[in-house]
Chains A and B, each alone.
Chain A
Amino acid sequence: MTALFIITIILMFITGFYCLIFSRNLIRLLIALEVLTKGVTLLLIYAGFANGDMATAQSFVITLIVIEVVIMVAAAGIVIGVFRHTGSLDVRNIRNLKG
Chain B
Amino acid sequence: MDLSNIYSNPILLLVILASLLGFGVMAVLIKNLLKAAIALAATSAMLAVVMFFLGAPIAAVFELSVCAGLITVIFISAISLIKPKSPEEIKSETKGKINKFIFLPILLAITGAILWIFLGIDLTTVSTNAPQAFDFAALKNVIWDTRQLDIVGQIIIILTGVVGVVVLFKGSKSK
Contact = CB atoms under 8 A, between A and B. Distances in A.
Interface residues of B, number: 77
A3 B37 CA distance: 29
B96 interface: no
User: By DSSP majority rule, is chain B's interface helix, strand, loop, or mixed?
Assistant: helix
B51 A45 contact: yes
A46 B63 CA distance: 15
A52 B139 CA distance: 13
Contacts of A49: 54-56, 131
B59 A62 contact: yes
A79 B43 CA distance: 23
Interface in A55-69: 55-59, 61-63, 65-69
A94 interface: no
B5 to A, nearest CB: 11
Nearest to B18: A8
A73 interface: yes
A69 B112 contact: no
A6 interface: yes
A15 B24 contact: yes
Contact of A54 (B55, B81, B143): B55
Interface of A: 1, 3-8, 10-12, 14-16, 18-19, 22-23, 25, 27-28, 30-32, 34-35, 38, 41-42, 45-46, 48-49, 52, 54-59, 61-63, 65-70, 72-74, 76-77, 79-81, 83-84, 89
25 contacts: A1-B10, A3-B120, A4-B10, A10-B115, A11-B112, A15-B21, A16-B28, A19-B101, A27-B79, A28-B33, A38-B24, A45-B54, A45-B56, A54-B135, A54-B138, A62-B62, A63-B154, A65-B59, A69-B67, A69-B161, A72-B75, A76-B77, A76-B164, A80-B171, A83-B81
